[in-house]
Amino acid sequence: MACNVTHLKLFQYLDGELSEEQRSELESHLASCRDCRHLADLERSFHQTYLAPLRPDPAPERVREQVARLLDALPDQQPRSAGWRRPSAVGLLVGLAFVLFGGVLWLSLQRPWHATNAPLIRLAEASVEQHQKLARGVLPHDITHGTPKAVEQWFKGRLDFNVSLPELTRDDLTFLGGRISHLRDLDVAALHYRVEGKDVSLFIIPLERYQKLGLGESPKFKMVTHQGYDVIVWSSHGAAYSLVSEIGDRSCLVCHSREEKLDFPTDSRVHDKL
């Protein structure tokens, strides 16, 4: 995809309006073109800062289903059986009013919850987005294979914080590659693994930037379910981490041995439905 075509489609891309094929072509171009990638980062930052907060929350799935059922009940021009009676217009309006009121009430109750967990959810959303691009190969690896010490040395000098990796070797754990990536405005070390045949991404975040998110220390492991992916967020030994996979806490094998007992309280999981 040429640069001028990328510029024309950039706004559609940021609004999620491109087809799967067009999005893949554009992201491949962004991965190889620094100028277009810089422009996309600027536009994305503008969208997130000024446009995204103005967008209304989407109606819950149950509300959309109930509205669809009410609309399906509206009379059409098809012949009806002898026992069919036209729905009362007043009854339909009252029913629709109850559905909409229930949706508004549901959203009003959800807002404080989402406000409390907003930084964690935003971090999870950004982590899942980067994980998907790594798994699809849209974001190429800057370093492949190599020992943990070699990978640490590669990141040294490229990031303003130290990257430390565990020395773990197992048949079901493969290091595929790494790169410097971005979780919105955070420069991070992105590490791509294969665990039990599944893609797992580990993002290492500078501790001082993580602390500014105000997530607190308890629980230690914060878990979010977003778009079918499990995101585990925690801080330890002077850095913070965001781990993304489809295999839940088994993905922790990239950092911890099987013998380590990790405390995952059941109330630490956040199910992000947005």
Q: Can you give the CATH number for the domain in which 160 is found?
A: 3.40.1000
Per-block mean pLDDT, blocks of 10 residues, the chain (274 long): 84 82 89 86 70 58 73 62 53 54 48 59 91 91 87 88 78 87 88 90 92 84 87 88 86 66 52 41
Q: Is residue 174 part of a domain?
A: yes
Residue 216 lies in a domain: yes
- Cα-only R_g, the chain: 23
At position 80, the amino acid (one-letter code) is R
**Count of domains forming the chain:** 2
Which residue, of 38, 54, 70, is where some domain finishes? 54
Last residue of a domain, one of 20, 38, 54: 54
Does residue 234 lie in a domain region? yes
Residue 255 and residue 137 share a domain: yes
Q: Is residue 93 part of a domain?
A: no
The burial of 225, by beta-carbon neighbours within 10 Å (0-12 exposed, 13-18 middle, 19 or more buried), is given as: middle
Return the closest-CA partner of residue 198 out of 220, 170, 223, 173. 173
CA distances to 152, 203, 218 from 235, in Å: 18, 11, 11
- Amino acid 179: pLDDT: 93
3-state SS class at 227: coil
139 and 20 in one domain?
no
Residue 247 CB-half CA count within 13 A: 14
Same structural domain, 150 and 50: no
Structure tokens at 184: 């919105």
The reply to whether 144 and 240 lie within a common domain is: yes
Q: Residues 34, 147: one domain?
A: no
Taking the C-alpha atoms of residue 63 and residue 168, their distance in angstroms, rounded to an integer, is: 48
User: Which of 14, 38, 54 finishes a domain?
Assistant: 54
Q: Are residues 22 and 137 in the same domain?
A: no
Quick one: pLDDT at residue 71? 73
Residue 45 forms part of a structural domain: yes
Which range of residues forms the domain containing residue 244? 119-272
Task: State the Cα–Cα distance between residues 82 and 180, nearest whole angstrom.
Answer: 69
**Preceding amide of 265 cis, omega within 30:** no
Domain contains 34: yes
In a domain, 138, yes or no: yes
**Phi/psi zone of residue 19: left (φ > 0), alpha (ψ -120 to 50 degrees), beta?**
beta
